[in-house]
Structure formats: C-alpha cells, structure tokens
Amino acid sequence: MTEPLLRIDQLRVRFDTPEGVVHAVNDVSFQVGAGETLAIVGESGCGKSVTALSILRLLPSPPARLAGGSIRFQGQELTSLGETALRQLRGDRIGMVFQEPMTSLNPVLTIGRRLTEGLRRHHGLSRRAARERVLALLERVQIPDPSRRLDQYPHELSGGMRQRVMIAIAVACAPSLLIADEPTTALDVTIQAQVLDLIGELCEAMGTAVILVTHDLGVVGDVADRVVVMYAGRVVEDAAVDDLFSRPLHPYTQGLFAARPNLTPTVAGQRARLTEIPGMVPSLRAGVTGCAFAPRCRAATAQCRAQTPLLRPFDSSGHAVACHHAGGDA
C-alpha cells in the first residue's frame, strides 16, 4: 500500500489553561489521499479546527501543546520538523483558507500585496512576474476586474469576494493539500455554494487534496469523498461519503442526520419536526472516561460509561466507527 498524502496518527493536542488542561484532540487518526477531498464534521468545540490548525502548527503555543501522535505529509514527519522547514511548506505545498474572510485579511495591506507575497517567497518570482501570475489567479477565482482589485484593500471587497481572495492566496503556489477551516460559515447562503464549487474546481484542476472542516452536513454531501466525524476531540466515525449518508453507524452521526431539517429520514419515526440530540457536549477539561457521547446516547450501556470505544474498521469498505454497539445491538 502506498503512503497517503497526509497521514495523521494518534494525534493529541492539549491546551494548558489556568483552569486546567483541556484535552482538545484525543488520539485522532485519519488519512488523506492525493487529490482526495476529506471532510471533518462535528459541532463547535469538537476539535476539528484544532486538528486542522495543528497540521501546520498554527495554534498559539502556549496554551496549545502537541502531546503526542504523528503527522506525516508526503512521507515527511511534520511534528518533529523544524520551524524553518515547516515554514517552507506553509503556503507552498499546504495552503490554508480560514473561516472569517472579514478578519483573516490584514485591513491595512492591499490584496495584491498579500497575493504576491507567498509567490515571491516560495518561488522567488520578481514583483512583476508575481503580479502577472496573480492576475491570472484572480481571474480563475472569478473576481471581476482583477487589475483594479489588486490595489484595493479588504474593506473595499464583499464577503464572498474576500473569501475568493483567501482561496487565491491559499492556492497561489499550487499546493498538494488545501486545508479549509469552515470556509463558508461566515458567508451568505447564496455565496456558500459558489465558494465551495470554486474550491472544488480549482483543486480538481490542480490535483490538490482538500481537508474541509465544517459543521454543515449538506456541504459534506456535495463536495467530500470521505468524511471524518468528530465528537469531543475524538474521531467517532470515518467513512466514504455515500456510505456515511446511506448507513451512519455511530449514534452521534445518526443524531446529526436526524437533526438536519428537510431531509429524508434516516432514523425511524422521523417526522417533519426537528429532532435535536439531547444533552450537552461534555467539558474537555477533565479526561473523559468511557464513551464521551454516552451521557447523550439512548443506547448507552454500562460498558459505554466504563470503557472508551476505539475506532475500529466496521467492514472492508473502509468504514470505521468508535462505538461498542455499532451495527449490531445499537
């Protein structure tokens, strides 16, 4: 079996806060193949963004701390990589798109400045050559009148336009992997689809793999190849997108589908009424014993409360789930 583009193994991230250690990411493992689109799904605070940010070591440290695990990218271990070597990957082989296009662009620098910077740093292009490349790039992300936009500042652009610029920055050096951290969350619903399509098109054309962090299952169904579902800092389910949608195994995943409005019911007895998952996300301050979802799970047993279920393959298709009762007696 060949080495995947990115392989994360048993990743642990801790936050050292005055109130105690927060176990933000616990033994998270997944892989992304070249050109593949992986979606990481979960609700706020489940560790999906922390996982994404820790790949390029972009979390503020302190308080964040890598407490274990391995991140291998193109066969290279990133967790032990020096800051200089890592910096050469950032923006060149791995691009990032962030959630808030309003705050993720420096308000006092022009669009052109930001776009050309990465190219000039990583590919040593001259100011003029970089400008040429960037003009073509802005056209590709469908920004009208690109030469005028280059000299404009972020506040002169609309939200959707800014996110297009963010995408242009991220893909400027044609990366092998694009990490998009909730790229559409802050956008208008009408623009969300356009932006996602854009990411999809660009990455397909360049053969770029995508990690899409989102809490929107609708988005996942449209663009992802594989899906990783996270809950309370752990991966609870990992499956190909069709497989997950047709046969969600973890009670949490099932709950997520049930909580979607206007969807064909996947849980028995589902009506037009919106179902929510009862209870609250557990605090990650203390290490959780047993299944973190057990307090909210209708099928929870004594075993669930005592023993943390590990992610295990469910069938040969690569569908994996972390539940003691998945498929069988759940």
Partner 1 sequence: MLGYVLRRLVATIPVVIVVAVVVFLLARLAGDPASVIAGENATAEQIAQIRNRLGLDQPLLVQFARWSWSIAHGDLGVSIFTNTPVAQLIVQRIGPTFSLAVVTIVLAILLGIPSGVLAAVFVRRVPDRVIMMLAVAGFSIPIFVLAYLLILGFAISWPILPVQGYTPLARGVLPWLGNLILPGLALALVYAALIARTTRAALLDVLAEDYIRTARAKGLLPREVVWLHALKAASVPIATVIGIGIALLVGGAVVIETVFAIPGLGRLTVDAIARRDFPVIQGVILLFSGIYVLINLLIDLSYTWLDPRVRFT
Stretch that binds partner 1, among 16-24, 117-125, 138-146, 235-243 (CB under 8 A): 117-125
1, 108, 272, 280: residue in contact with partner 1 (rule CB under 8 A): 108
What six digits make up the tokens of 84? 């200089």
Does the protein bind partner 1 through residue 169 (CB under 8 A)?
yes
CB-wise, 165 or 220, nearer to partner 1? 165
Among 141, 143, 166, 223, which residue sits at the site for partner 1 (rule: CB under 8 A)? 166
Q: What is the CA radius of gyration of the chain?
A: 21
Residue type, 128: R
- Residue 14's H or E segment, with its range, is strand 6-17
* Closest C-alpha among 235, 224, 231 to residue 277: 231
User: Taking contact as CB under 8 A, which single stretch among the options 12-20, 37-45, 111-119, 254-262 is the one that binds partner 1?
Assistant: 111-119
Residues in contact with partner 1, counted by CB under 8 A, come to a total of 30
Measured in residues, the chain has a length of: 330
Name the segment binding partner 1 (CB under 8 A); options: 30-38, 162-170, 193-201, 262-270. 162-170
DSSP 169: H
User: Which of 7, 23, 122, 149 is in the footprint of partner 1 by CB under 8 A?
Assistant: 122
Q: Find all residues with CB under 8 Å of 236, minimum gap 6, and list them.
A: 229, 230, 250, 252, 253, 293, 311, 321, 322, 323
Contacts with partner 1 in 176-215 (CB under 8 A)? none
**Using CB under 8 A, which of 61, 76, 103, 126 touches partner 1?**
103
Looking only at the bridges linking them, the beta strands covering 320-321 and 234-240 are antiparallel
The distance of closest approach from Cβ of residue 171 to partner 1 in the complex, given in angstroms and rounded to an integer, is: 12
Residue 90 binding partner 1, by CB under 8 A? yes
Q: Which residues contact 150 (CB under 8 A, 6 or more apart)?
A: 110, 111, 112, 115, 131, 134, 135, 138
DSSP code string of 107-122: TTS-HHHHHHHHHHHH
What residue ranges bind partner 1 (CB under 8 A)? 56, 58, 87-92, 95-96, 98-100, 103-109, 114, 117-118, 121-122, 153, 155, 166, 169-170
